[in-house]
């Protein structure tokens, strides 16, 4: 899945900041998990002064502090392989999708599979990943989805398995937000409605 990058180049002009065009190339990242690695990847390629701000969905704002950094980024072929799109920042910019976590209760453990959770996620959008925390609990499962829903997700629905009707409850919970730091923070052990762990591939 591609990662779209929302970019802005900022140049100091006296006491004001003037946004100018960044780049218009079409770039691509291999999967959504790459978002959590973006800061490290940039640092490893010598782009340590780029400021990243998560905008929601698959979008990130990138701020360059000088023209040289922007040109260096433009000419770096390795960086282009990570991004699918970059555009100039604008006050009219609007994100039509969002990434969020949904907590599911009632899915029988014997039905736990990527296919099952992918079909459930298709009710609202696309499955990105799953919570693979080893807490020993199988009465609930958290999945990460990309959706265009504008309202908070909260519903119950039926799942039919071998002629038996099973009710599943779904509730949107506070989601993961990339902090773009190099140090891997210790995963929270709290059991509340928030989940801010690292996105990992194959979390099922």
User: Which residue segments constitute the domains of the chain, with CATH numbers given?
Assistant: 4-88 (no CATH), 98-173 (3.30.70)
Task: Say what the pLDDT of residue 171 is.
Answer: 97
**Mean pLDDT, all residues of the chain:** 73
DSSP result, 123-144: TTEEEEEE-----S--SEEEEE
Which of 7-16, 105-114, 125-134, 155-164 is predicted with the least confidence, judged by mean pLDDT? 7-16
pLDDT tens digits for 151-190? 999 999 999 988 999 999 999 998 767 766 444 344 444 4
Both structure tokens of 55: 């905008």
pTM: 0.68
How far separated are the first and last CA of the chain, in Å rounded? Answer: 18
18 versus 1: the higher-pLDDT residue is: 1
CB 170 within 8 Å of CB 102? yes
CA distance 52 to 40: 11
CA distance 138 to 141: 7
- pLDDT (average), residues 76-96: 76
Look at residue 55 and tell me whether its pLDDT is greater than 90. Answer: no
């Amino acid at each position: 899945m591609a990662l779209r990058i929302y970019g802005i180049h900022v140049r100091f002009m006296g006491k004001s900041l003037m946004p100018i065009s960044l780049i218009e190339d079409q770039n691509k990242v291999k999967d959504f998990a790459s978002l959590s690695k973006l800061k490290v990847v940039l640092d490893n390629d010598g782009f340590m002064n780029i400021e990243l701000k998560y905008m929601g969905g698959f979008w990130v704002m990138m701020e360059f502090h000088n023209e040289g950094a922007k040109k260096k980024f433009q000419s770096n072929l390795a960086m282009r392989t990570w991004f699918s799109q970059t555009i100039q920042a604008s006050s009219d910019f609007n994100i039509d999708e969002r990434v969020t976590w949904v907590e599911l209760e009632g899915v029988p453990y014997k039905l736990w599979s990527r296919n099952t959770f992918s079909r459930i996620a298709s009710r609202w959008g696309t499955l990105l990943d799953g919570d693979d925390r080893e807490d020993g609990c199988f009465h609930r499962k958290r999945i990460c989805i990309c959706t265009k829903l504008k309202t908070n997700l909260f519903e119950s629905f039926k799942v039919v398995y071998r002629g038996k009707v099973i009710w599943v409850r779904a509730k949107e919970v506070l989601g993961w937000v990339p902090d773009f730091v190099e140090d891997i923070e210790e995963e929270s052990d709290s059991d509340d409605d928030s989940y801010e762990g690292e996105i990992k591939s194959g979390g099922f």
